[in-house]
Amino acid sequence: METLKLKYPAIANYIGGQFIPFTGKALDVQSPISGEVISTVPLSGSNDLHLAVEKAKAAWPAWAAMPVKERVQVFYRYKTLMEKHLDELSRLVQEENGKTFEEAKAEVEKSIELTEFACSLPQLISGELLEVSRGVECRVDHKPLGIVASIAPFNFPHMVPHWTIPNAIALGNCMILKPSEQVPLSAVKIANMLKEAGLPDGVFNVVNGDREIVEAICDHPDITAVSFVGSTKIAKVVYRRATDNLKRCVALGGAKNHLIVLPDAHPDMTASNVTASMSGCAGQRCMAASAMMAVGEVDHIVQKIAEEAKKIIPGKNLGAVISKAAKERIERYISEAEAAGAKVLVDGRNCIVPGKEDGFYVGPTVIDYVQPDMAIAKEEVFGPVLAIVRTKDLDEALRIENDSTYGNAASVFTQSGGAARQVMERASAGMVGVNIGVPVPREPFSFGGWNESKFGVNDITGKSSIEFWTRLKKTSVKWNPEAKVNWMS
Ligand code: NAD
């Protein structure tokens, strides 16, 4: 009876090209915008994973044997389908994640760009060949790994799965996707569209759940590589467990991104970029501005940032945060900073959006005079909150940035090439920006942080991911008996 009332039918796992009705324990899926339960998601177990892996294994030989130029044809068609259904996909992202429609659309557009990159793989993975000795040639080819898994977080239900799906599959692997149990709806659309685009059954599978299924993925003997995106705490668990089981693993973790603002920064450009970075997607981006190092006399810029932040209206151009627990956690960070002496310039606590009273909203928040040792300056808040730390010079700002355990993004705002160069060189972060609030590298450049923001060797997207999703086969060939003796023969 209960399920009849839900807006979306109960989610089913997608295994071997079919949605398999789930009869086990399920979790409610809540829309952060209304607080309403809109669906349920399976808490799958190792049996469900086993079935998915068996289907993937059955599909793999034919998929791996297909030339890459043929495999990417699926992704050309898939990209067209995403473009055709852009609004529909964006609305679903908005509903399950809580971000604004414009943000959701930008997310799906990024999925399209990631798919375009996969379509270019035939141009990028041509191997190498050399006559290494008289009559003997060596060639190197990128070969797929087999069955791989991708574990995703809640903050980009559509884009983060596309960090891995198009590249891993176009490179000849079969995949098991484990979406976040908080946002499982977009994966249903992804599965349907890949099928419509002509992907053979079993090449892509979705197994839903939480901890139990992630552990089963790390332990499954037939899964050869695992990618993970989520918090640092779980990234460590997954990286350790997957590599302990002798799998290849890249695990992206959380972030605390530092924006360094110098007195010569362009005031308007800086204020709008910093504010957009801290408030976009309600601050739930692993690239979001979180701590701003205000170097020297920058009061005029801080004032502009506060003015910009006040223009952001929750429920209009600011989305909801993912859950009640997230709202409470974010507000706790603000209250603790205030109690410890920081000055709240713009206060987003106790935010109620008319007509969406049960939604999980936190208003834009700007806090000045935060001390570097406060929790709000060091830990990932993951909400629309900017903590401003005053520093006397660039060295002090860089010292604080360097001390962070994380290392996803860092940015500097300045008109000085010399100062910008210092930050480019000295920031301890995998992705650095100059006068850019969210320095995400666009394709073909790869995405990945440093320090505790990423565990593993490769980045998760772009050219770097080719190495992650493939292994090299080195072949030596001789056909001419007249060449007689050759190297090592
Ligand atoms: P999370 O770590 O709670 O969950 C991520 C995934 O791990 C989910 O699929 C979840 O089901 C699973 N999981 C949760 N608890 C687990 C456990 N105990 N054992 C095994 N698996 C478990 O992360 P989240 O809250 O969904 O996402 C937000 C986090 O992700 C933030 O820290 C954010 O910075 C990070 N993130 C990082 C990047 C990046 O590129 N570095 C990108 C997006 C998000």
d(CA 224, CA 142): 16
Which pLDDT tens digit goes with each residue over 179-213?
999 999 999 999 999 999 999 999 999 999 999 99
Radius of gyration (Cα) for the chain, nearest Å? 24
| CATH architecture assignment, domain 257-434 | 3-Layer(aba) Sandwich (3.40)
pLDDT for residue 4: 57
The CATH number of domain 13-254+449-473, selected from 3.50.50.60, 3.40.50.12160, 3.40.605.10, 3.20.20.10? 3.40.605.10
* pLDDT of 86 over the 80 cut: yes
Contact assessment for residue 403 and residue 252, using Cβ atoms and an 8 Å cutoff: no
pLDDT higher than 50, residue 436: yes
pLDDT tens-digit map of 127-171: 899 998 888 899 999 999 999 999 999 999 999 999 999 999 999
Question: If residue 205 lies in a helix (H) or strand (E), which one and from where to where?
Answer: strand 204-206
What average pLDDT does the chain have? 96
Q: Whose CA is nearest to atom 16 of ligand 1?
A: 211
Residues 6 or more apart whose CB falls under 8 angstroms from that of 479 comprise: 135
Q: Is 65 exposed, middle or buried (0-12, 13-18, 19+ CB in 10 A)?
A: exposed
The per-residue pLDDT for range 52-61, each reduced to its tens digit, is: 999 999 999 9
The 3-class SS string of 339-402 reads: HCCCEEEECCCCCCCCCCCCCCCCCCEEEECCCCCCHHHHCCCCCCEEEEEEECCHHHHHHHHH
Which amino acids are annotated catalytic? 286
When comparing pLDDT for 446 and 485, which is higher? 446
Q: What percent of the chain has pLDDT over 70?
A: 98
Q: Mean pLDDT throughout 235-251? A: 98
Give the whole-angstrom CA distance, residue 238 versus residue 151.
10
Answer for the pair 56, 175: CB distance below 8 angstroms, yes or no.
yes
Q: For 15-74, how does the pLDDT look when each residue is reduced to its tens digit (9 = 90+)? A: 999 999 999 999 999 999 999 999 999 999 999 999 999 999 999 999 999 999 999 999
Our measurement of the distance from residue 212's CA atom to the centroid of its chain's CA atoms, rounded to an integer in Å, reads 21
| Pocket lined around ligand 1, Cβ cut-off 6 Å | 151-155, 160, 178, 180-181, 210-211, 214, 229-231, 234, 237, 252-255, 286, 380, 382, 408, 449, 453
User: What pLDDT sits at residue 3?
Assistant: 44
Report domain extents, the chain. Answer: 13-254+449-473, 257-434
Pocket test for ligand 1, best of 234, 245, 447, 450 (most atoms within 8 A of CB): 234
Residue 131 CA to ligand 1 center (angstroms) comes to 48
User: What is d(CA 422, CA 9) in angstroms, rounded to the nearest whole number?
Assistant: 54
**In this structure, what token pair is assigned to residue 4?**
């009849």
Q: What are the start-end ranges of the H helices in 283-323?
A: 299-310
- Lowest mean pLDDT: which of 4-8, 280-284, 326-330, 338-342? 4-8
The residue whose CA has the least distance to atom 35 of ligand 1 is 230
Burial 380-416 (b: 16+ CB within 10 A, else e): bbbbbbbbbbbbeebeebbebbeebebbbbbbbbbee
pTM: 0.97
pLDDT band at 489 (very low <50, low <70, confident <90, very high): low
CB–CB of 415/393 below 8 Å? no
Averaged over 420-431, what is the pLDDT?
98
- Residue 1's pLDDT is 41
All residues at 6 or more sequence positions from 147 whose CB lies less than 8 Å from its CB, including other chains? 53, 56, 57, 60, 173, 174, 175, 176, 222, 223, 224
Nearest Cα neighbor of 71 from 238, 250, 203 is 203
DSSP assignment string, 11-72: P-EEETTEEE---S-EEEEE-TTT--EEEEEE---HHHHHHHHHHHHHHHHHHHHS-HHHHH
pLDDT digits (tens, 9 = 90+) for 118-127: 999 999 999 8
